[in-house]
Copies of this chain bind each other. A is one copy, B any other.
């Protein structure tokens, strides 16, 4: 057990357990090709093992996919819930929303494409599973926006549009990354720098737009 744990700590391929190598390979292949496009053979090749081993460890392609997916969102969804449940001033909320969102996605840059694809195929079923049958409650935030407009603190704007704007600004770059790199000619290093910079700037961009 200790040996296994020690092995787990090493990132070196040779020191990884087969199970870990499979998980790492599957993640990569599923992200690039999606559930339908991914082949067990691709995953086996990527992991440098035999196809039969995949079934030995995870029984089926579907189960393997599920493990990957649950691991990916297990850390992600609670943080989303937390963001929507916060009780701060609107400007603070916007700041935390953007920072947390971009941080979470920077750590898991493949999640947006993954989620967007599955959600497009099986919206209700997939998203329900993803959010553990408990969808984040937007109404608190939407109501707060409404109130701040009434009070004259921010400029009039449709609360739904404002929230959609925030989501767009935080999520899109991770979906459009290859397109942006192609158009701008940036390399990975430059793109990552852009994302880091963005972490500070997005909230300001939103707040600048609505503050009086």
Residues of chain A at the chain B interface (Cβ within 8 Å): 32-37, 113, 115-117, 119-121, 123-124, 127, 135-136, 138, 155, 157-158, 160-161, 164-165, 167-169, 171-173, 175-184, 194, 197-198, 201-202, 205-206, 208-210
Contacts and interface: CB of A to CB of B under 8 A. Distances in A.
A172 B179 contact: no
Q: How many copies does the complex hold?
A: 2
B158 A197 contact: yes
Nearest to A124: B182
Contact of A194 (B117, B164, B179): B164
B176 A167 contact: yes
A185 B181 CA distance: 34
Given A120-B178, A168-B173, A175-B116, A184 B206 contact: no
A157 B208 CA distance: 11
A169 to B, nearest CB: 5
Given A157-B205, A164-B180, A164-B194, 13 more contacts: A32-B120, A34-B117, A34-B121, A113-B120, A116-B176, A116-B179, A161-B205, A167-B172, A167-B180, A169-B169, A172-B175, A208-B208, A209-B209
A202 B145 CA distance: 17
B161 A201 contact: yes
A158 B186 CA distance: 15
A37 B36 CA distance: 5
Contacts of A37: 34-37, 121
Contacts of A197: 158, 161
A177 B121 CA distance: 12
